[in-house]
Amino acid sequence: MLYGEAMNAAETVCRVAAPAKINLTLEVLGRRADGYHDIRSILVPVSLADDVELRESDGDRLEVVPDDVDTGAIGPAAENLALRAAGLLRRRAGLARRVAIRIVKRIPVGGGLGGGSADAAATLAGLNRLWGLDWPQARLMELAAELGSDVPALVHGGAVCIEGRGERVTPVLDADRRGGDTPGFCVLLVNPGLAISTGEIYRTRAEGLTSSPDSYTITHSALRSGDVEAAATGLFNGLEERVFSKYPVVGRLARQLKTTAAAGVLLSGSGATVFALVRNAAQAERIRRSLPGGYWSRVVWTLPDGVMAAHGFLEP
């Protein structure tokens, strides 16, 4: 959701909700000549979101405010994806304007939930309106592809299939169903308190194809029909073996969740967050209460029909 308010004639601010994502499927199809990997993944945003505030300023600034998450793994400001997104958009638009970015951080850092990518997508969407550019979504997605593999999908919004490095984005739902009443899935997110580097996992995984075409087909169909039981049978993540081997606590968490009555359990992205697809919020809370102390956890809903930062509105 994108919204904002005019403070006065010389100062404008907008605030953007930046939803996290989960990967219901993630296939690694091989290493590319540029050193990156070709992937195919079904990615869905969820109702956990950072808040990103963008304010006209005399210089670029970044403030990150933790909201029940550890932000110790966040790197220097110059490497922050939201600031990089602002700089990239400014250069391509030929502007000299600067922005102060304040992020209320609710998405775990290094958790496989796309928090940094979500903040970057929200920044592109918000500044596109705040700076009066009115660029089409496709143009913003081209910029997003320069920032990270998940950013184009999160600019697009809704349940999507991403391919290549993530630059090829195809919506799961037909255009006439996006923004409608397609049912979401209830999801329990659990993180054991680790921040995992996506780059490290890809660099150190054993080479080879980790593909599951049946999982893709099953999950794609289940999202279109809103069938959580069917979606659970299609869950697949080609990075799980490497992550569970390097970080045994994540593997133990996944095995523990699989002993519950959850419909399905999977590592999201490169971890460290593991999610359980559940049938309703009451079941999610029962499973949540059964977990050992010290785990971060949230009950959320998937947002399959395009309710994302890039699809909100900006009030004058």
Beta strand pairing call for 160-164 and 168-171: antiparallel
Q: Is 258 a catalytic residue?
A: no
Q: Where are the beta strands (DSSP E) in the chain?
A: 2-8, 11-31, 37-57, 61-66, 98-105, 160-164, 168-171, 186-191, 236-237, 264-267, 274-278, 296-301
Q: How far apart are CA 202 and CA 104, in angstroms?
A: 29
- Closest of 22, 44, 45, 38 to residue 211, by C-alpha: 38
Q: Which of 50, 51, 119, 150 is catalytic?
A: 150
Q: How far apart are CA 128 and CA 141, in angstroms?
A: 12
Q: Which of 21, 50, 51, 119 is catalytic?
A: 21
Q: Is 150 a catalytic residue?
A: yes
Token pair recorded at residue 197: 């580097």
- What is the H or E stretch that residue 209 is in? none
Q: How far apart are CA 45 and CA 118, in angstroms?
A: 9
Task: Please state, in angstroms and as integers, the Cα–Cα distance from residue 106 to each residue in 20, 45, 149, following that order.
Answer: 9, 14, 21
Asked whether 178 and 306 are in contact (CB, 8 A), the reply is yes
Would you call 204 exposed, middle or buried from its count of C-beta atoms within 10 A (0-12, 13-18, 19+)? exposed
**Residues marked as catalytic:** 21, 150
